[in-house]
Amino acid sequence: MLALLFATSLLLGSQSSQATPEASNYIVGPQDVLTVTVFNEPQLSGQFRVENDGQFNYPFLGRIKAAGTAAAEIGALLRQKLADGYLRDPQISVEVAQFRSQSVFVMGEVRTPGKYTQSGSVTLIEALAQAGSATASAGHDVLILHPKEVLKGGPTLPNDGDADVERVNLRDIEGGKLSQNVIIRDGDTIFVPKAERFYVIGQVRTPGSYVLELNMSVLQAISLAGGVSERGSNRRIRIIRVVDNKKREFDAKSTDIVQAGDTIVVRQRLL
């Protein structure tokens, strides 16, 4: 998985070098510099720096709020305001000419966790690559925490209540769902949890510990362990599970869903 993700990051990196960050829904913030172009209206065109309050001064219209929105949304707002008594059907484009420095935190099961400074738009895979990619003990799901309040100078943790949590499965990106390679915003924390595991023992070809996938069945789990051996029986399967701090053991069907920490026992055939 790690090698494939690294190759994916190289591919996406080469694509992003050909596309501007504005096209990636970059969210404007203080100290960004915007280039506003109004067709056939040079007095209304130019570069404008977003100030610390998230606004910038624009001719005739005064203070325009920009922080927290994409460049295209700012263009739509200017178009609406200029059409209201100033210009007939104004044609406007807004681009980000200079990006402010942004902070992104990458924590959890990555090789070099920490705070990373970006000078523009960055995707999930690009941010993970900066942190050395996920470790072998990482799970496939990644949590992206968007803080609701102003950046507090440190990472946001999964149990913090002041953040919106977005979950992305890296397998989806590997499978070609590039829409899951989301844009990381200023102040976001990427948290890579340790993989949840289960165990397969008894009459299987390769007993051991395996990474648990979402909604994995007993049959799928046994397949990861090489399948039932010649001496094993797919009708004599038991699960050992800890419930309320007590170890319980029960018969299992091939369609049962495996839980984290389960031990699947494939017993020997009776005959």
End of a domain among 130, 161, 192? 192
Residue 150 is predicted with a pLDDT of 56
Does 86 share its domain with 109? no
Task: Please indicate, yes or no, if residue 19 is contained in any of the structural domains.
Answer: no
Does 76 share its domain with 115? no
Residue 19 is predicted with a pLDDT of 39
Distance between CA 84 and CA 97 in Å, rounded? Answer: 27
Task: Please indicate, yes or no, if residue 152 is contained in any of the structural domains.
Answer: yes
Does 66 share its domain with 92? yes
Residue 154 is predicted with a pLDDT of 81
Distance between CA 192 and CA 244 in Å, rounded? Answer: 27
What are residue 103's DSSP bridge partners?
117
Distance between CA 234 and CA 11 in Å, rounded? Answer: 43
End of a domain among 77, 98, 119? 98
DSSP H or E run through 240: strand 232-243
Residue 25 is predicted with a pLDDT of 64
Residue 152 is predicted with a pLDDT of 58
Please name which of 176, 153, 180, 154 lies closest in space to residue 166, comparing C-alpha atoms: 180
Does 139 share its domain with 91? no
Domain limits for position 244: 197-268
HSE-CB of 181 using CA atoms within 13 angstroms: 23
Q: How many CB atoms lie within 10 A of CB 121?
A: 22
Does 87 share its domain with 161? no
Does 136 share its domain with 85? no
Does 49 share its domain with 91? yes
Task: Please indicate, yes or no, if residue 10 is contained in any of the structural domains.
Answer: no
Task: Please indicate, yes or no, if residue 180 is contained in any of the structural domains.
Answer: yes
Q: Are 260 and 194 in contact (CB under 8 A)?
A: no
Q: Are 169 and 191 in contact (CB under 8 A)?
A: no
CATH code for the domain of 185: 3.10.560.10
Please name which of 205, 202, 9, 190 lies closest in space to residue 108, comparing C-alpha atoms: 190
Task: Please indicate, yes or no, if residue 14 is contained in any of the structural domains.
Answer: no
End of a domain among 166, 192, 218? 192
Reading the block at residue 113, the tokens are 């966790």
Output the pTM of the full model.
0.63
Provide the 3-class DSSP secondary structure of residue 184: strand
Reading the block at residue 103, the tokens are 């902070």
Distance between CA 16 and CA 203 in Å, rounded? Answer: 49
Does 113 share its domain with 177? yes
Sign for the CA dihedral angle at 75, 81, 82, 83 comes to positive
What are residue 141's DSSP bridge partners?
169
Q: How many domains does the chain have?
A: 3
Q: How many CB atoms lie within 10 A of CB 133?
A: 19
Provide the 3-class DSSP secondary structure of residue 219: helix
**Full pLDDT tens readout for the chain, 271 residues:** 444 454 444 444 444 433 344 444 678 888 899 999 999 999 999 999 999 899 999 999 999 999 888 899 999 999 999 999 899 999 999 999 988 777 899 999 999 999 998 777 789 999 999 999 889 889 888 999 988 775 556 888 777 777 889 999 988 898 889 889 998 888 899 999 999 999 999 999 999 999 898 899 999 999 999 999 999 998 999 999 999 999 999 999 999 999 999 999 999 998 7
Residue 161: DSSP 8-state: S
Residue 121 is predicted with a pLDDT of 74
